Structure 1
Amino acid sequence: MRKYFFKKSALVFSLFILSSNVINATVSLPSFITDNMVLQQKSTVPFWGESDKKSVSITTSWDKKTYKANVINGKWNVVLKTPVYGGPYTIAINDGDLKTLQNVLIGDVWLCSGQSNMEMPLEGWGKIDNYKEEIANADYPQIRLLQAEHIESTLPLNTLKVQHDGWNVCSPKTIADFSATAYFFARKIYKEKKIPIGLIHSSWGGTLIEAWTSSGALSTIHDFDVQIEAMKSETNAAALLQKYNADMGDWEMKVRGADEGFETGKVIWAAPNFDDTSWKTMKVPSFFDSNGLGNFDGVVWFRKKVNISDTGKDFTLNYFADDDDIIWFNGNYIGETRGYNVERHYTIPAKYLKKGENLITIRVFDGAGNGGIYGDENITLKSDKETISLTGDWKYVIGVDSKDLPGKPYLAQGQNRPSAIYNAMIAPLLDYKIKGVIWYQGESNAERAHQYQKLMPLLINDWRDKFKDKNLPFFFVQLANYKQQKEQPGDSDWAELREAQFMALKVPNTGMAVTTDIGNVEDIHPKNKQDVGARLANIALAKVYNTKIDYSGPLYKSYKIVHNSIILDFDFNEGIKANEDSLKGFSIAGSNQKFYWAEAKIVDGKVVVYAQEVPNPVAVRYNWADNPEGNLTNASGLPASSFRTDNWKGITEGKK
């Protein structure tokens, strides 16, 4: 009996061990090799994973072919041959334990990347035009979605962190938090060609182009050597941080010295007895850029008087400020917060309260873009017994304009360190075969727009090298119109960034979607993403899918001076015309480099530009502004890109 028991026990134990080994032997695949994925058609496609067995066999249902691979150091890889588009198919992977990938399509895979305008989802924080209807109608099972997580790294990674367990079928249930631009791009291509489309969305709002570029490529231009070295060494990183902190301390002292709200270092505009009758009023919450201050960057002070009846309890005050703020209550310092997207949570101690009239003072510093006090439509001051609305008119005045300040020190941190996002969100994908790239980025680099002239071609060629495809299609969106319009022609960093994007068209097999007609004066994230995606799709249809379709407005080619006029010639000039009425958006200058608004007319397919104020013209600019209003187009109806004929030094030249 005892002998039988031991034999039975040994058998059970052996079966347990065998079962455990089978479970442990289950093949492991990259996060982006899952059910519902799309593999690139008509290609040799790398396919890989891990196993603790000696060999793996892979069988593809489209050709019933079996590929075998030896496992070396726990890793295996094969190269699959894919047919013309179709499916769904299965892929069986067997290392002793069978794993089958279901609902796999063969089609075209597009990598969609950039910053927030590429990231902008249909719903969520995006809420694009007609988002409810668009989501309800997003039933496209032949479009597949892969969403990368926001991850950064000092060194290249082998694994990509993804959402929703990998690839998902496009449907009303899956599309809401996906890139709107990418979705509309895929939708148009699919409708035209009926080819399954796989979208790999890997973007991150507020990021810089150098963060998406490999350190090897960046090292060839030497603009980021110090930051790259700091990523390799804690000692270098500490030294860089120490220098930045010292520079920031000096800079903040200079800001306070120039800010009229301070006098010999002491705050005077927060004092309850200060006379603010000459100050203007502004509605809060709102951005001050759209409340009479135009494209202002710098310090704005706000004051508001409120009546309080219960002074026995602390009050709380929550709001957002763009970018940094300091708050006082009845002249008493309460606190300060940095960051445009950080909600403020302040407590006003009861000891600072008084019955009757009380004064709140908020100093807001804005470094770029929108600035102000924003957030919930009804900002309130609350205690356990009382709620006081702060929505409405506040007194305000400018403390100092950034134009009168030295440049703010900058330290690349987190995801914006050079190569940090490339390492985590692009490098893991390099062996996954793709058809091409769509890119929407540039807003964050506008202050260094001249540098972008070399950064964008660098990124394109870097990715082509890393994906081992020297002709990889790369199509991008030129910055939309944004900010307040200016009455007179002048300098613009956004125009200089658009110029850098235009210049990137010199790189072969690229394309640019111009969007200066569909932006928003008050919103850096315009909600018309349908046209953005469709314009990118038109470029792809023309350049990749050999479809006869209009995909570009006029692009500046050359100029010549004839008497008191400048004659401009364009590529894509068929049917060149004004979109409505007469041509707008042109300015002209003589040798003194002072620009005046110009008259412009179309003669024999060319644009003739002149102005009475400039009898001897030297240069012309078109749509050279943050928010231009030019209307030059062609038979396609698509807008012309902004441009200039001169090479005079811009406001961002030399900034790194």
Structure 2
Amino acid sequence: MNKYWFLKVGLVVVCLCLTLWSEAKVKLPALVSDGMVLQHGQQLAVWGYADPGETISLTFLKKKYTSHADAKGCWKIDLPALKAGGPYTMSINEIQLKDILVGNVWLCSGQSNMELPVARVTDMFRDEISADSDYPMIRQFKVPLRYDFHAPQTDVPGASWKALTPENSMSFSALAYFFAKDLYAKTRIPVGIINSSVGGSPVEAWISEEGLKPFPMYLNEKHIYESDDLIATMRQEEGKKSHAWNVALYRGDAGLHESTPWYAADYDDAAWAQTDMFATEWASNEVGPVNGSHWFRKDIQVSGEQAGQKATLRLGCVVDADSVYVNGTFVGTVSYQYPPRIYSIPANLLKAGKNTITVRLISNGGYPHFVKEKPYKILFGAGQPEKGESEISLEGIWKYRLGTPMPTAPGQTFFQYKPVGLYNGMIAPLVNYAVTGVIWYQGESNVSRRNEYASLLTAMMADWRQNWHQPDMPFYIIELADFLSPDDKGGRAAWAAFRKVQAEVSDQNKNVTLIKNSDLGEWNDIHPLDKKTLGKRVSEAASQERGHNK
């Protein structure tokens, strides 16, 4: 049973208007816009801003509703429960909203595994995504990153509803993409996804100040960052330290300053050591890991048929950053460890015979390495069947030389991870918008504090249910996927213990469903690719338990 009792409160103020609009024209929040999906079967609110006292006239489905802006210029109109359908139009004074659907609206929130876009899972689902991404009855509203430590915000400027089309599909949350497609196939009812997620975010960042009252330490942490001057000063100082570290790295890196740079095609690397790319000897010394720049070069043989073709260089994943050159020409860089390295090699860069691949690897902290069991190869012929598909492996022995050792890079404060900030910036503006329920994929950032996670997540769910005025609002909690090397027994035990906490929260709170996900993990990737199976599991649970297939 949920141990948090809902407080008896009056109506939530629909908007906090700090500015009086100088014109009589109505202004709408970003959520209330062309292409929106309204929740069916529930009373709805449409709200906005105007001059104080302005008459608001709303027409929808041949019915007219009126209201007046209050002394602060805020207004709200309640609509009755609607049947699924559309597209429709809505008029609000001089504004005409088009292409409106009525269906099931889902709030999808959490950290990077929820935010992860379709573009990141194309290795596994490229053919399906290319052939089956035109669903005009599925829409996503992506809430941009925004945090605030002063007060709950009322809007999310710059966001808009986007239909699931081939042009938009790559930016959809991959989990939401497969969930929505499967749910729509079952119900034929429009699906709206509100994607409010931030990579790396802990649960306490998503709870309101009121909801965090049982956790005074987190409230005190929030109070520290209420000072805009402090945040500005910290950013400035951290920026200076980061700049100084990178300047020292550049100055000390011999590979960039010899008469022939180490990435040049004609550089003589005969004196370099040889190492397997997955070896550990190059990454550490008698003291510990060697941070700084590490250079790798590999000669490959390109056939006459492959020469001159456009190609794709796959360099797996690298800890932490890399810059890659082909025959002395820069082809790509990634600045942190998680994204897959997929670089395009332009036509005519590869020649018949010997070619050289050079990697400058930057380690900021921890052990530098190439992640095992990822693709390390050059691919030819993708999308050009007439030329034939082929590949060249990049695994095995490389030539190696240390560019320059560095101390651990200075840290950076991620202010968006501090308590309350994301609630104020990315959840509070949504609470007037009716939803079916919440799909929550988060927890990786709380594994080390798993003993308190049950209380925090329970508090967050109670907080959101209260602010949405939906005491039974369903939550679908995604179990953390399996992760970490089999040799990391301590780490794996911690993740397993966290999954037990997630199950405990599901068992002890009403209308909470745990979605199995541990079996879909990849030991070497915190972002497992199989979001399709996971999306179908959420869809199946939602259809069975909430009756959305009726």
- For 1:374-523, list aligned pairs within 5 A: 392-393=397-398, 413-486=414-487, 492-505=493-506, 506-523=508-525
Q: Deviations over 1:445-477 (max 9, x none)?
A: 222222222222122111112212111111021
**What SS does the aligned partner of 2:192 have?**
strand
Pick aligned residue for 2:115 from 107, 112, 119: 119
- Please state how far the C-alpha of 1:536 moved relative to its aligned partner: 0.9
Name the structure 2 match of 1:85: 84
1:58/1:142 CA distance change after superposition, 3 Å: farther
Pick aligned residue for 1:322 from 319, 323, 341: 319
| More contact order relative to length (CA 8 Å, sep ≥ 6) | 2
CA distance in 1, matches of 2:125, 2:95: 41
Shifted more, 48-57 versus 465-474: the winner is 48-57
- The letter of the residue matching 2:141 is L
- Please state how far the C-alpha of 1:478 moved relative to its aligned partner: 0.6
Computing the radius of gyration from Cα coordinates, the structure with the larger value is 1
| Contact residue 282 and residue 395 of structure 1 kept, 8 A | no
CA distance in 1, matches of 2:163, 2:229: 47
**What SS does the aligned partner of 2:169 have?**
coil
Name the structure 2 match of 1:642: none
Pick aligned residue for 1:147 from 137, 142, 154: 142
CA distance in 2, matches of 1:72, 1:132: 55
Name the structure 2 match of 1:134: 129
Name the structure 2 match of 1:106: 102
Q: Deviations over 1:199-248 (max 9, x none)?
A: 1111111222111122322231223243112022468879999xx9xxx9
Name the structure 2 match of 1:533: 535
Structure 1: stretches of 5+ with no match in the other structure = 1-21, 249-276, 308-318, 326-336, 343-359, 380-388, 398-407, 549-656
Name the structure 2 match of 1:384: none
CA distance in 1, matches of 2:40, 2:335: 49
Name the structure 2 match of 1:299: 289
- For 1:219-238, list aligned pairs within 5 A: 219-233=213-227
1:341/1:518 CA distance change after superposition, 3 Å: closer
Shifted more, 513-522 versus 221-230: the winner is 221-230
**What SS does the aligned partner of 2:425 have?**
helix
Q: Deviations over 1:32-90 (max 9, x none)?
A: 11111111112221111122374333333325233333453322221111322122222
- The letter of the residue matching 1:141 is P
| Contact residue 51 and residue 69 of structure 2 kept, 8 A | no
| Contact residue 122 and residue 128 of structure 1 kept, 8 A | no
1:432/1:175 CA distance change after superposition, 3 Å: same
- The letter of the residue matching 1:496 is A
- Please state how far the C-alpha of 1:361 moved relative to its aligned partner: 11
Pairing 1:196–2:190 present: yes
CA distance in 1, matches of 2:161, 2:360: 50
CA distance in 2, matches of 1:48, 1:136: 38
- The letter of the residue matching 1:130 is F
Q: Deviations over 1:581-624 (max 9, x none)?
A: xxxxxxxxxxxxxxxxxxxxxxxxxxxxxxxxxxxxxxxxxxxx
- For 1:309-388, list aligned pairs within 5 A: 322-323=319-320, 340=337, 364=363, 366=365, 371-372=368-369
CA distance in 2, matches of 1:454, 1:435: 24
| Contact residue 320 and residue 362 of structure 2 kept, 8 A | no
- The letter of the residue matching 2:536 is A
**What SS does the aligned partner of 1:431 have?**
coil
| Contact residue 86 and residue 105 of structure 1 kept, 8 A | yes
Pick aligned residue for 2:174 from 180, 184, 191: 180
- The letter of the residue matching 1:500 is V
- Please state how far the C-alpha of 1:534 moved relative to its aligned partner: 0.7
Number of aligned pairs?
425
| Contact residue 143 and residue 194 of structure 2 kept, 8 A | yes
CA distance in 2, matches of 1:85, 1:226: 45
Pick aligned residue for 2:162 from 141, 146, 168: 168
- For 1:582-593, list aligned pairs within 5 A: none
CA distance in 1, matches of 2:533, 2:377: 34
| Contact residue 108 and residue 193 of structure 2 kept, 8 A | yes
**What SS does the aligned partner of 1:445 have?**
helix
User: What is the root-mean-square deviation in Å for CA atoms of aligned residues?
Assistant: 4.4
- The letter of the residue matching 2:112 is S
Name the structure 2 match of 1:49: 48
- The letter of the residue matching 1:87 is G
Structure 2: stretches of 5+ with no match in the other structure = 1-20, 242-271, 299-314, 323-333, 340-358, 379-393, 403-408
1:488/1:159 CA distance change after superposition, 3 Å: closer
| Contact residue 128 and residue 529 of structure 1 kept, 8 A | no
**What SS does the aligned partner of 1:187 have?**
helix
CA distance in 1, matches of 2:193, 2:297: 53
| Contact residue 38 and residue 101 of structure 2 kept, 8 A | yes
1:140/1:292 CA distance change after superposition, 3 Å: farther
| Contact residue 297 and residue 400 of structure 2 kept, 8 A | no
Q: Deviations over 1:474-525 (max 9, x none)?
A: 1021111122224979962211221121111021101111112222122211
| Contact residue 52 and residue 71 of structure 2 kept, 8 A | no
- The letter of the residue matching 2:446 is N
CA distance in 1, matches of 2:44, 2:187: 22
CA distance in 2, matches of 1:180, 1:75: 36
| Contact residue 115 and residue 198 of structure 2 kept, 8 A | yes
- Please state how far the C-alpha of 1:117 moved relative to its aligned partner: 1.0
**What SS does the aligned partner of 2:535 have?**
helix
CA distance in 2, matches of 1:66, 1:212: 34
1:396/1:212 CA distance change after superposition, 3 Å: farther
Name the structure 2 match of 1:265: none
- The letter of the residue matching 1:432 is Y
Instruction: Give the TM-score normalised by the residue count of structure 2.
Output: 0.66
1:280/1:539 CA distance change after superposition, 3 Å: farther
Specify which structure has the higher proportion of helix: 2
| Contact residue 276 and residue 396 of structure 2 kept, 8 A | no
